[in-house]
């Protein structure tokens, strides 16, 4: 095992609206303080009672998917917590991932694509 799932991140136009929607379905607390994420107008979280964390990321020109239409596919990414970011990067690259954004050397996360092109982030625990 290389990492543990921290949260599932959904892109959207309005992070508060979507976090409240999922809160009405799943219960839990919107924007519970958590040192792993900075909350703000572009980012919100929902900590469910079952331990699942959903995060909501505002995108400038969000275009909702049209099902089933490959021109407007599903939009999300996974945040995977790791103890050692350098070692985890090496491991996921060995498994076939591609580095999309290595950051500036100061951030605690990096963006990758899985072999099918889906994005995910490794985040330093």
Summarised one tens digit per residue, pLDDT across range 25-60 is 899 999 999 999 899 999 999 999 999 999 999 998
pLDDT at 64: 83
Radius of gyration of the chain (CA): 15
Model confidence band, residue 106 (pLDDT cutoffs 50, 70, 90): confident
66-102 pLDDT, tens digit per residue, is 878 888 877 788 899 999 999 999 999 999 999 999 9
How many other CB atoms are there within 10 angstroms of residue 60's CB atom? 6
105 band by pLDDT with thresholds 50, 70 and 90: confident
DSSP 40: B
Please tell me the predicted confidence (pLDDT) of residue 40: 92
Q: Specify the pTM.
A: 0.79
Report whether pLDDT(11) > 80. yes
Residue 2 is predicted with a pLDDT of 95
Q: Are strands 53-58 and 4-12 parallel, antiparallel or unpaired?
A: parallel
pLDDT of residue 76: 82
Provide mean pLDDT across the span 1-18: 93
Both tokens of residue 64? 């909702």
């Amino acid at each position: 095992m290389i990492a543990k799932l921290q949260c599932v991140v959904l892109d959207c136009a309005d992070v508060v609206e979507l976090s409240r929607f999922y809160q009405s379905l799943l219960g839990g607390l919107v924007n519970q303080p958590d040192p792993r994420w900075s909350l703000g107008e572009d980012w919100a979280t929902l900590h469910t009672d079952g331990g699942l964390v959903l995060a909501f990321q505002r995108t400038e020109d969000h275009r909702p998917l049209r099902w089933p239409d490959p021109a407007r596919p599903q939009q999300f990414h996974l945040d995977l917590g790791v103890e050692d970011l350098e070692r985890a990067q090496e491991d996921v690259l060995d498994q076939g991932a591609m580095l999309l954004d290595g950051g500036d050397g100061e951030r605690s996360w990096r963006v990758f694509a899985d072999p099918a092109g889906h994005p995910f982030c490794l985040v330093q625990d």
